[in-house]
C-alpha cells in the first residue's frame, strides 16, 4: 500500500513545492491535483515534476469534456515526459454544474465518452496513426463532416511510456463496471472500505469479467483526511464534516447528486436527506452538524496510531493500493509528522 496526497487549490506553488519535497523524503509516493473549474492541473503538476524526484504526479481528475481525447493524450504524454515517466492520468465525467455551467457543453454520453477517450489515448501513446470512428469521436473526420483533407496522424514525439496509467473517478454502477473493465485504477471518493462489496461488488465483478488479460489488476485509490491525535478526536471529526456536507448536500440538484446517492447506499439515507434539505435551504451549519460521526470515521483517518492502523488494514483488506491522505493540521511540522506516521504504518501493513 502506497501513501499519496491530494492537493488543495490556491496556495502559492513555491510553498506547495517545498512541502511536497519534504513529504517525498518522508515516504510520500504520489501527488494528485484536481481541476474542476480552477487553474488547470497539468501546468501545476509540471512545476512539481521539477521540484521532486520520485513521486507520481496524477491529475485527479481531468473532466472529459474540457479537452478533446487527443489533447488529453498529448497532455498526459507531456507530463510523463517532463517528469521522466511519473504521470498518472485521472479522468472523470465531472458533472452538469461544471460541464454545462462552466464549459457550456451538454453533460451527456459519459460512459461512451470515457471508453472512447481511453481508446484514443492508448492509441496515441502507442504512436499509431490515429483512426477512431466512434459514436462520440471521429478521428479523422470523414468527408461530408469536414473538408476531407484530414489524414490519420501519429504523435510526433516518442512518449516516455506507451502505457500511462489511467484512473477513473466513478461511483455509479455502470461507470464502476466500465472502470473495472478498462482502467488501470479506480478512484472512489468518500470510500467506506467495509461497504465495498455491498455497494459496488456486482459492478466490480461484472467489469472484471470483461477485463483484458493485457491489463494488470485494478488499483483502488482512496482518499482520506488524516489527523493523528492521542486526545479527543471530536474536534478533528467535526473539522472533516464541512466537506462531506458540501458534497452530500450541495454538489448537484435535489434530483441528481451522486454523493448523496453514495451516502444513502452506505446506509445513511435519512441523514443524507437531512443534510441536503439543510444545505439547499442555505442552512450550512445545520447541514454540517447533520453529518454522522460514523461516516467521518469510516472515510477518514482520525485518531491515535492504533486506530489509524486499523483503518489502514481495513483499506488494505478492501484492495486499496494507494491512500491519498490530506493532513488536517494547520502547522506544517504537524502535517509532515502525520505523513511520516501514516507512511510508516502503511509500510508496516504491506
Beta bridge partners of 322: 2, 221
Residue tagged 486499496 (cell numbers) = 320
Note the pTM of the prediction, 2 decimals.
Answer: 0.94
325-334 pLDDT, tens per residue?
Answer: 999 999 999 9
236-265 pLDDT, tens per residue?
Answer: 999 999 999 999 999 878 888 999 999 999
Task: For domain 2-223, say whether CATH 3.20.20.30 is its number.
Answer: yes
In the chain, domain spans: 2-223
- What distance in Å separates the CA atoms of residue 147 and residue 139, rounded to the nearest whole number? 13
- What distance in Å separates the CA atoms of residue 300 and residue 314, rounded to the nearest whole number? 12
Instruction: Indicate the pLDDT class of residue 94, thresholds 50, 70 and 90.
Output: confident
What contacts 350, CB < 8 A, 6 or more positions away?
A: 1, 316
- What distance in Å separates the CA atoms of residue 331 and residue 304, rounded to the nearest whole number? 18
Task: Note whether 26 and 53 are within 8 A (CB).
Answer: no
Instruction: Indicate the pLDDT class of residue 148, thresholds 50, 70 and 90.
Output: confident
226 conformational bin, left if phi > 0, alpha if psi -120 to 50, beta if neither: beta
Given the DSSP bridges, would you call strands 132-133 and 138-139 parallel, antiparallel or unpaired? antiparallel
- The three cell numbers locating residue 206: 461484472
Amino acid at each position: 500500500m502506497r501513501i499519496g496526497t491530494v492537493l488543495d487549490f490556491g496556495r502559492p506553488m513555491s510553498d506547495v513545492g517545498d512541502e511536497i519535497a519534504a513529504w517525498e523524503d518522508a515516504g510520500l509516493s504520489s501527488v494528485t491535483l484536481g481541476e474542476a473549474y480552477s487553474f488547470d492541473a497539468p501546468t501545476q503538476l509540471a512545476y512539481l515534476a521539477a521540484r521532486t524526484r520520485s513521486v507520481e504526479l496524477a491529475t485527479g481528475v481531468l473532466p472529459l469534456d474540457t479537452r478533446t481525447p487527443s489533447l488529453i493524450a498529448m497532455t498526459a504524454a507531456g507530463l510523463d515526459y517532463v517528469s521522466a515517466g511519473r504521470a498518472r492520468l485521472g479522468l472523470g465525467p465531472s458533472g452538469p454544474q461544471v460541464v454545462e455551467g462552466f464549459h457550456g457543453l451538454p453533460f451527456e454520453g459519459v460512459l461512451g465518452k470515457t471508453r472512447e477517450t481511453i481508446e484514443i489515448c492508448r492509441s496515441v501513446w502507442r504512436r499509431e496513426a490515429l483512426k477512431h470512428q466512434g459514436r462520440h469521436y471521429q478521428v479523422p473526420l470523414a468527408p461530408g463532416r469536414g473538408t476531407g483533407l484530414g489524414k490519420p496522424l501519429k504523435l510526433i514525439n516518442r512518449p516516455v511510456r506507451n502505457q500511462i496509467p489511467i484512473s477513473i473517478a466513478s461511483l455509479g454502477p455502470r461507470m464502476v463496471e466500465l472502470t473495472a473493465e478498462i482502467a488501470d485504477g479506480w478512484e472512489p471518493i468518500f470510500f467506506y472500505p467495509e461497504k465495498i462489496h455491498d455497494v459496488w461488488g456486482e459492478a466490480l465483478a461484472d467489469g472484471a469479467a470483461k477485463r483484458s488479460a493485457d491489463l494488470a489488476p485494478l488499483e483502488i485509490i482512496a482518499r482520506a483526511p488524516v489527523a493523528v491525535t492521542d486526545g479527543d478526536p471530536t474536534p478533528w471529526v467535526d473539522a472533516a464534516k464541512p466537506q462531506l456536507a458540501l458534497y452530500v448536500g450541495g454538489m448537484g440538484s435535489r434530483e441528481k447528486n451522486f454523493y448523496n446517492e453514495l451516502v444513502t447506499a452506505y446506509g445513511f439515507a435519512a441523514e443524507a436527506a437531512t443534510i441536503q434539505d439543510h444545505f439547499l435551504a442555505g442552512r450550512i451549519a445545520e447541514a454540517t452538524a447533520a453529518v454522522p460521526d460514523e461516516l467521518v470515521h469510516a472515510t477518514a483517518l482520525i485518531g491515535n496510531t492504533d486506530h489509524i492502523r486499523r483503518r489502514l488494514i481495513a483499506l488494505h483488506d478492501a484492495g486499496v493500493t494507494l491512500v491519498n491522505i490530506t493532513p488536517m493540521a494547520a502547522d506544517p511540522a504537524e502535517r509532515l509528522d502525520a505523513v511520516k506516521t501514516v507512511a510508516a504504518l502503511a509500510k508496516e501493513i504491506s
